[in-house]
Structure 1
Amino acid sequence: MELHLLADKAEYIPKIAKWYSDEWGDIGESRSTKALELKLTDYLNRNKLPMIVLAMEKDKLLGAAQLKFHEMSIYPDKEHWLGGVYIDKPYRGQGIAKQLIDKVIALAKHYQVSHLYLQTEDHSGGLYAQSGWQSIERVNYKNVDVLVMKKVL
């Protein structure tokens, strides 16, 4: 498996938009897949944030994760977020998410980010808790109960 930036594999934007729409499209303001495709063009960066990291096996897209700004509007002071961690269903349970998350953390450190935040519907914290993320609080955001977590880099 190899990790790439979306900026180097922009042809996968429609697939990622479909994944995100299918998985989270009913949360908050529903966006069409086309609207998500347009939003994902903001991540076509190689030397600045925001970025999306892709997990690939040859020409097969396995998953994606984002290093982004201000994911939750209720936390305007929390700037940098890990988000959009998605692994295509046939490839789940193989450690791909951890590799994507580790790469996002490495990129965040490279860009001198001191804290990363995330939100998850898994109130146990799951993989994130196992990887040293600390729970901040549980909140209802856009009609979904989520756990907000933080990692000091």
Structure 2
Amino acid sequence: MKFVLLADNQPALPQVAKWYSDQWGYIGEGRSTKELELKLRDYLNRDKLPLIILAQDGNEVIAAAQLRYHEMDIYPEREYWLGGVYVNSKHRGKGVAQALISAIIDKAKILGVGSINLQTEYLSGGLYRDLGWQPIEQVVNHGINVLVMEKSL
């Protein structure tokens, strides 16, 4: 498995947009595959946010995750967020998400980020808890109960 920036594998953008739309399209407007393809063009960065890191098995893109700014309006003081962690269903349960999150953290450190936040529908914290993320609070975002978590780098 190797990690590359979406900026360095732009042909993967439609696949990532489809994954995100299929997984989270129910949340609200602006989440169709076509709309997400346009939005994700803003993530074609290498040395600044927002950016997306892809996990690849050979030439096959198997997962994606985002490092971005200000995901939740209710937390203007929380600048940096992990989001859009998605692993293709046939590659789940193989440690891909954990390795991808580690790659995001490594990139965040290179960019001088001191802490990263996230929101998860797994109110126990799931994998993130196991990886050392600390719960902040449970809130409702877009009508969904989520746990907000933070990891100091």
TM-score (norm 1): 0.97
Of stretches 84-93 and 39-48 in structure 1, the one that deviates more from structure 2 is 39-48
Aligned residue number for residue 76 of structure 1: 76
Q: Does 1:6 align with 2:9?
A: no
Partners in 2 of 1:36 and 1:94 — Cα distance?
Answer: 27
Q: How does 1:1-153 map to 2 (within 5 A)?
A: 1-153=1-153
Identity %: 56
Instruction: Name the amino acid aligned to 2:109.
Output: K
Tell me the secondary structure at the aligned position of residue 31 of structure 1.
coil
Instruction: Name the amino acid aligned to 1:44.
Output: L
- Report runs of 4+ in structure 1 exceeding 6 Å deviation: none
Q: CA RMSD in A?
A: 0.8
1:31 Cα shift?
A: 2.3
Partners in 2 of 1:39 and 1:105 — Cα distance?
Answer: 23
2:24–2:31: 8 Å Cα contact kept in structure 1?
no
Tell me the secondary structure at the aligned position of residue 136 of structure 2.
strand
TM-score (norm 2): 0.97
User: CA 1:117–1:60 in 2, change beyond 3 Å: closer, same or farther?
Assistant: same
Aligned length: 153
Once the two structures are superposed, what CA deviation does each residue of 1:2-45 show, in whole Å capped at 9, x if it has no partner? Answer: 11000000101111001000100111334221110011111101
